[in-house]
Amino acid sequence: PGYMVGKAEEWGGIGKYGSDMVRTCSVLNVPKIQYVIGPDHGAANYGMCGRAFKPVFCFTNMRGRTTVMSGRTAGFIVESVRRKNIVDKGQTVNEEEMAKFRQMMIERYDAEGHPFLTGSLLFHDGVIAFSEAREKIARSLELCYRAPIEKSDWGDLKV
């Protein structure tokens, strides 16, 4: 999951298609259910109808990870900033220390995205095993079916 980055993708219209997905999630007046089955970082969370769009149910499984960015990305970015600050002060960068710092940041971000921690912060409604997904999502759809759906005044979406 996620949005591809790069010059070819930008010229191919990924920004437009990504914004269409986010706009659709934000204006939809139907019951929304999210089931995270893998990495769920940054903008991908919005494109998959994340908590910000108030889904009726939001589930994950043990492989799901919900964070602002992946541990590897965070480790690289924070290390780059720290490295620049050290160089700007005229000090020498200790590569061994930098590698330890990067690994610590990777572990920290990966731990913060764990389903049990995100569940304790109410980012989702529960952890569902793959073997239980069909039954639990079907039950969620049944519950959604009982609630009235508001009429949309947003208009047509041309996709």
Task: Tell me, yes or no, whether 63 lies in a domain.
Answer: yes
Q: What is the pLDDT of residue 42?
A: 81
- Give the chain's domain count: 1
User: Alpha carbon of 37 to those of 34, 75, 81, 107: distances in Å?
Assistant: 10, 23, 31, 20
Task: Tell me, yes or no, whether 106 lies in a domain.
Answer: yes
- 38 phi and psi angles, rounded to 5 deg: -165, -155
In contact, 125 and 131? CB cutoff 8 Å: no
Q: Percentage of residues in the chain with pLDDT exceeding 90?
A: 49
Q: What is the pLDDT of residue 106?
A: 92
Q: Where are the alpha helices (DSSP H) in 57-94?
A: 71-88
Question: Is the pLDDT score of 69 beyond 90?
Answer: no
Q: What is the pLDDT of residue 6?
A: 67
Task: Tell me, yes or no, whether 134 lies in a domain.
Answer: yes
pLDDT tens, position by position, 23-45: 777 777 888 899 999 888 887 78
Q: Taking all residues of the chain, what is their mean pLDDT, rounded to a whole number?
A: 86
- C-alpha atoms less than 13 angstroms from C-alpha of 105 in its C-beta half-sphere: 20
DSSP strand pairing (57-60 vs 39-41): unpaired
Average pLDDT over residues 60-71: 90
Nearest to 66 by CA among 95, 40, 100, 103: 40
Regarding predicted confidence, which is higher, 82 or 157?
82
Task: Tell me, yes or no, whether 124 lies in a domain.
Answer: yes
Report CA torsion sign: 12, 26, 34, 136: negative
Task: Tell me, yes or no, whether 151 lies in a domain.
Answer: no
- 34 phi and psi angles, rounded to 5 deg: -115, 135
Task: Tell me, yes or no, whether 127 lies in a domain.
Answer: yes
Q: Give me 33's structure tokens.
A: 């259910």
Question: Is the pLDDT score of 58 beyond 90?
Answer: yes
Q: What is the pLDDT of residue 1?
A: 41
In contact, 35 and 60? CB cutoff 8 Å: yes
Task: Tell me, yes or no, whether 13 lies in a domain.
Answer: no
Task: Tell me, yes or no, whether 100 lies in a domain.
Answer: yes
Distance of CA 114 to the CA centre of its chain: 12
Q: What's the CA gap between 137 and 90, in Å, rounded?
A: 57
Domain that holds residue 103: 31-42+50-146
Regarding predicted confidence, which is higher, 61 or 22?
61
> What is the domain-level CATH number for residue 67?
3.90.226.10
Average pLDDT over residues 142-149: 89
